Amino acid sequence: MINIKIDGLDVSVPKSATILQAARQLQIEIPTLCYMKGLNEVGSCRICVVEVEGWRGLHPACVTKVSEGLSVKTSSSTVRESRKNILELIMANHDRECLSCPRNQNCELQKLCNEMGVEAVPYEKRADRGTIDKSSYIVRDPGKCVLCGRCAAVCSDIQNVGVINYAHRGAHTSVTTPYGDSLSEHSCINCGQCIKICPVGALQERDDTGKVWNAVEDNELHVVVQTAPAVRVALGEEFGMQPGTDVEGKMVTALKRLGFDRVFDTNFSADLTIMEEGTELLNRLNNGGRLPLITSCSPGWIKFCEHNYHDFIDNLSSCKSPQQMFGAVAKSYYAHKAGIDAKKVFVVSVMPCTAKKFEADREELKVDGLRDVDAVITTRELAKMIKQSGIQFAELPDSGFDSLMGVSTGAGAIFGNTGGVMEAALRTVADLLTAKDLNDIEYTSVRGMEGIREANVVINGMDLRVAVVNGTANASKLLDKIRSGEAAYHFIEVMACPGGCVNGGGQPIIMDKSAAEEVKRMRIEGIYGIDRDRELRKSHKNPEIKEMYEEYMDNPGSHKAHQLLHTHYVK
Ligand code: HC0
Ligand code: SF4
């Protein structure tokens, strides 16, 4: 251990510690901007500078290692003045459009400027980093970029995509795409993880709230909305509630007040996905089909697979995702039952995911030329619409989803967590293989926060080797092992976002990044709580699903089901 003094207080820390870590051990908060523990420890912004007795100049606490006997000052007037000066320099090159910025009041730079007393910017703008690019699902505004590099780190290290990075030198340094192109022209998977880690408003999702307002106000259209499993455990955060709070009832009330004609649930179509995907798994196992079967409901993962692992395209489940299945049945089964022309049904999705906007636009997911889903908004965009309409969300009474496509089971709910699709499928496959109504349904071996989890599940004497992956860099690691013959599985779940949809790129932004893991854990727990409280916890027990098959689609895997609910991807 190394003994040092910080602001006159003694502390012992491991030899490998930085001054920042040592200060945090003493509960001394040194401000940071570019720093992300374990991901981006590069000392590029210099906000964390400190004085070290006997050393010349100031030193960034996030990358300066401790040594025996150091004496550090973290808030001398020299330090405070320097931090203020650094912020003024950053602000000089930052488009100061705070009032109209989507990150107003949720911006780390704004918070630092307030805390350090930055009132005016005494410097001229030095760099022109380009104009806003709105042509992708992920909108980049280089004029607001503070060059922290956090997006580049997440894109390459967590997602193994690497489509944004530093370019140019000196005052012309920028964080940009290859050739400064739109992200849509490259292998960006639209996961939105860069948005969530950006400290300012330089990255945002494409805003589709205008499209949804227009649809809701169009009397010619019958507008139905579906809500993804993970939205209800995070939406409350936008209104001051604890992460993980289940606000399903209030969310449904809010959507009805916003003017949607019907409020339905993606959890319903998650149950439907299990009926189709469980059948597909059993077919492949029994009939020598291509294995491992790999889930296909995460559109970021699908795009990643198409760009980098096209030799696994035939392993992908042919099932559309629950979002798309919902749209397909809304415009067929629901329109038929309600006596409405399918072309007049406008389907809106509320998703925790930015890649769902891309998925909804995919040509191969259309049925007879008709899109399944017409508009996708994120959890953040729904919160914005609720705020715009003056609804006092926290005060709302609860209400229930509309019937026909509003009932769901605990299995549908857990889709929102990493491991959830796997567990939901195992619950149904186990009942089908044993022809029993099994009580032991919590497959805890596939739960957890680790990036790659493997398990052997024995069902009715059949030994199933399964794996659950989250984050596309982890998907690469697993698929590389399969390619080289080091590993083999029957069934794999892949979710593009670390933690699964609860941590999707469209979820509320957590300003205090040190709390991010805890927030993720609370959202995950919120979802397992919904599952535990459900009377029905297996997809095949969903009465509305049974009714739909009986009346409209015969059996899972039927010709009609294939027409509506399945697709294929081109290599
Ligand atoms: Fe998900 Fe989904 S669980 S991808 O994470 O499968 O976005 O929440 O809606 O479609 O159901 C996201 C969440 C969904 C879909 C479902 C799946
Ligand atoms: Fe990278 Fe995902 Fe951001 Fe695209 S959306 S730039 S893949 S982090």
The answer, yes or no, to whether any atom of ligand 1 lies below 6 A from the CB of 497, is: no
The CA distance from 347 to 371, in Å, is 9
The DSSP line for 298-318 is -HHHHHHHHHH-GGGGGGB-S
pLDDT in tens, 392-420: 999 999 999 999 999 999 999 999 999 99
Cα angle 267-265-391, degrees, rounded to a multiple of 5: 130
Residue 300 CA, distance from chain mean position: 10
pLDDT in tens, 525-561: 999 999 999 999 999 999 999 999 999 999 999 999 9
The CA distance from 495 to 297, in Å, is 8
What per-residue confidence (pLDDT) applies to 128?
84
Q: How remote is the CA of residue 353 from the centroid of ligand 2, in Å?
A: 12
The DSSP line for 161-208 is ----EEES-GGG-EEE-GGG--GGGTT-----HHHHH-SSSSEEE---
Q: How remote is the CA of residue 311 from the centroid of ligand 1, in Å?
A: 25
Q: How remote is the CA of residue 180 from the centroid of ligand 1, in Å?
A: 31
Those residues with Cβ within 8 angstroms of residue 76's Cβ, 6 or more apart along the chain or in another chain: 51
Low-confidence ranges of the chain (pLDDT < 50): none
What per-residue confidence (pLDDT) applies to 129?
85
Whether the pTM exceeds 0.90: the reply is yes
What per-residue confidence (pLDDT) applies to 126?
81
Ligand 1 atom nearest the C-alpha of 415 is 3
Residue 543 CA, distance from chain mean position: 30
Q: How remote is the CA of residue 312 from the centroid of ligand 2, in Å?
A: 22
Beta bridge partners of 174: 167
Q: Which of 352, 182, 177, 127 is nearest to 251 (CA)?
A: 352
Which residue ranges have their beta carbon within 6 Å of ligand 2? Answer: 138, 154-155, 159, 161, 163-164, 183, 188-194
CB 61 within 8 A of CB 50: yes
Ligand 1 atom nearest the C-alpha of 325 is 10
The answer, yes or no, to whether any atom of ligand 1 lies below 6 A from the CB of 507, is: no
Take residue 49 and report the two structure tokens written for it.
């500078």
| ipTM for the predicted complex | 0.94
The CA distance from 491 to 464, in Å, is 8
CB 287 within 8 A of CB 331: no
Cα angle 509-512-516, degrees, rounded to a multiple of 5: 70
The residue to mutate among 40, 188, 507, having the most atoms of ligand 2 within 8 angstroms of its beta carbon, is 188
What per-residue confidence (pLDDT) applies to 570?
80
Q: Before 292, cis peptide (omega within 30)? A: yes
Active site residues: 277, 280, 297, 317, 356, 359, 364, 501
What per-residue confidence (pLDDT) applies to 171?
86
Those residues with Cβ within 8 angstroms of residue 490's Cβ, 6 or more apart along the chain or in another chain: 281, 285, 291, 292, 293, 464, 465, 466
Kindly list the strands in the beta sheet with 452-459, ordered across the sheet, starting from the edge strand earlier in the chain.
293-294, 491-495, 462-470, 452-459
CB 550 within 8 A of CB 424: no
What per-residue confidence (pLDDT) applies to 478?
98
